[in-house]
Amino acid sequence: MRKNDPVKMKDPAQTIKVTYREALKQGLHDALTQDERVFLVGEDVGRYGGSFAVSKGFLAEFGEERIMDVPLSESGFVGAGIGAAMGGMHPIVEIMTVNFSLLALDQIVNNAATLRHMSGGQITIPLVIRMSCGVGRQLAAQHSHSWESIYAAIPGLIVLSAGTHEDARGMLLSAIKNPNPVILFEYTILLNSEAEISINAGAVNITKAMNRKTGKDISIITYGAAVNKCITAAQELFLSGIDAEVIDLRILRPIDDATIMESVTKTHRALIVEEGWQSINIGSEISARIMENVFYELDAPVKRLGGIEVPIPYPKHLEDASVPQVADIIAAVKSIMGHD
């Protein structure tokens, strides 16, 4: 890395290297340890240790009353989680993949998202629903879609996207203390990836977007599994003379407008990157908000870069081609900048 590269290096003495999977596991363990009202419910979370081994060993440590295997009925166990939250517990409900969450959509949309509002605040729903999301492990169209935009459209929910190891470690700890139902998206493709996080890592702020890399020429606005791709692209672009800023949305509902507008006002250009399908996605909303709020600051049209509009294919080369990759992000930025 060049000396004038603006990406900050972490102090190895103050960090520890963990996988994304381990970061999720540590956050979940802390949530269970810190509050006896917290329990985990889901398919295969106990004896099997979770479909992605995030809760491995927890059944022996915390017992069957707090680590609960359930039948294959998303509507049933999400509904049970909502009821437990109404009764004063702090349930964490794991839905194996985002695709299966549609089987519980009635419970999430018509119950979890509405009860606090319909009761005038008399009922709170301190419920976290964790979902594995996105491509990366050749799980085909049954298990690989990115449907964050569905849940981000629903008032009454808080929607979080853990695109970094720090957020994988800390978002759950903050979410479980919220009186509103929280949807927490975790990303399958990141499970085995390693990164360094603070040795004191814990709960994180779940109200603000994060500037992951400062820059002055263009704002790359992203979230989830695309965050690391955008940072890599920004580092390569810097070597080409383009200083890109990377904004990680982190919270998809409610969106942190202030951080986005501050960045675009500084750079005067915006590229929005996500793995969700190109049409009617998070990027559509961000683009509209930029146009409504800082149109006269723009030196070029806002551009969106999303997934190809097909059910996610199984073959690896087609799966890779279905979502934006680093080369696509670089090409899009250079196009906006008029940079050959």
Measured CA to CA, the distance from residue 259 to residue 262 in angstroms comes to 5
Q: What does the alpha-carbon distance between residue 37 and residue 85 come to, in Å, rounded to a whole number?
A: 9
226-245 pLDDT tens trace: 999 999 999 999 999 999 99
**pTM higher than the cut 0.85:** yes
Q: What pLDDT digit, counting tens, does each position of 152-183 carry?
A: 999 999 999 999 999 999 999 999 999 999 99
Residues making up the chain, counted from first to last: 340
* Alpha-carbon distances of 219 from 193, 231, 259, rounded to whole Å: 25, 11, 11
| Residue-level pLDDT at 340 | 59
Catalytic residue among 43, 74, 94, 166: 74
The SS3 assignment for 18 reads strand
Confidence of residue 5 (pLDDT cuts 50, 70, 90): very low
Structure tokens that stand for 263 in this block: 């960045």
What's the longest Cα–Cα distance across the chain?
61
Percent of the chain at pLDDT > 70 equals 96
Averaged pLDDT score across all residues of the chain: 94
Q: Is the pLDDT of residue 206 over 50?
A: yes
Query: Is 143 tagged catalytic?
Result: yes
The CA–CA distances, whole Å, from 7 to 1, 13, 195, 270 equal 9, 18, 15, 19
Whether the pLDDT of residue 9 is over 90: the answer is: no
Catalytic residue among 90, 143, 145, 165: 143
Please tell me the predicted confidence (pLDDT) of residue 2: 38
pLDDT(336) > 60: yes
Where are the domain boundaries for CATH 3.40.50.920 in the chain? Answer: 210-337
Distance CA 246, CA 218 (A): 9
DSSP 234-288: HHHHHHTT--EEEEE--EEES--HHHHHHHHHHHS-EEEEEEEESSSSHHHHHHH
pLDDT band at 1; cut points 50, 70, 90: very low
Tokens 């004896």 sit at which residue? 47
CATH code of 210-337, in short, is 3.40.50.920
Name the class of domain 12-198. Answer: alpha beta
Task: Answer yes or no: is pLDDT of 104 > 50.
Answer: yes
pLDDT score of 89 more than 90: yes
Which residue ranges does the chain devote to CATH 3.40.50.970?
12-198
Q: Is the pLDDT of residue 6 over 60?
A: no
Q: Is 268 a catalytic residue?
A: no
Residues 113-127: pLDDT tens digits?
999 999 999 999 999
Confidence of residue 138 (pLDDT cuts 50, 70, 90): confident
State residue 119's pLDDT score: 96
b/e code 168-180 from CB counts within 10 Å (16+ = b): bbbbbbbbbbbeb
pLDDT band at 139 (very low <50, low <70, confident <90, very high): confident
When pLDDT is averaged across residues 211-228 and rounded to a whole number, the result is 98
pLDDT of residue 143: 86
DSSP annotation of 196: E
- Find the mean pLDDT for residues 316-336: 95
Using 50, 70 and 90 to split pLDDT, how confident is the model at 11? Answer: low
